[in-house]
Amino acid sequence: MRMNTDGLIIKEHRMTGDDRLVTVLTRDYGVLRAFVRGAQRIKSRSQSGSQLFAYSDLSIYRGRDAYVIDEIQPKEIFFDLRNDIGKLALAQYFCELQYELAPQESDAGQFLRLTLNCLHLLSKDKRPQLQLKSIAELRTLSLAGYMPDLVACAGCGKFEDDTMYFCVYDGRLYCPDCAEDIPCEEIPLGVVTAMRHICYAQDEKLFSFTLNDENFKVLDYVCEKYLLAQTDRKYKTLDFYKSIT
């Protein structure tokens, strides 16, 4: 069966010989591992379109034992990401999030759009890195079925207070009165509003909010801690990004 779609290379796998094994986040078929024949040859037409961060139109078929990409037409390579070690590390983290949380062999259009937008804004310095990181984490979790309940206090239904509390373990919001005896992170109302926006906003409005530097740090801390609590695993690319920033 031949599949024509577009996708982003989110992982490269070292191999001997001329072929390249990649993991690609496709719009229509989710996360796939596939061989790109002859991609490691110096003059291969598939070389640029099969490298990490390459976004391309793809023609894929299912071989006897694996998927094979036999046609690649690059649309965006994101070269600028390789000029800054911090951007490169954060972009790799975005890809690892999709590798772990995006669906396999089913529609992943929203995951792909989110990641492409994050990479574009990161490469062009159009949003603060902490904002992009928080959006990538919380929005990916929401798409993957880990959306937190941020509508109102889980205890009494209160919509908001100057300070609210968020439990990264149950994904619920609490007012000051209901947060007693619950392990929660204290977050200002502005950060609550930003988290609601990330979870509930339409795609075209997702990146249209701002915070002061201090609140961006709080947002970053809470979203990262929620990700780690919900997925219960470590991310090597996250550790590397934090080690250099």
Do 237 and 244 meet the contact criterion of CB atoms below 8 Å apart? no
pLDDT for position 218: 98
**What is this structure's pTM?**
0.94
pLDDT for position 158: 96
The CATH number of the structural domain formed by 85-244 is 1.20.1440.120
pLDDT for position 1: 76
Torsion angles phi and psi, residue 134, rounded to 5: -65, -40
Contact residues for 163 (Cβ-Cβ < 8 A; gap 6+): 176, 186, 187, 188, 189
Choose among 18, 94, 83: nearest CA to 53: 94
pLDDT for position 49: 75
Q: Which residue positions in the chain have pLDDT lower than 50?
A: none
**Domain map of the chain by residue range?**
2-77, 85-244
pLDDT for position 40: 63
> Looking at domain 2-77, does it have CATH number 2.40.50.140?
yes
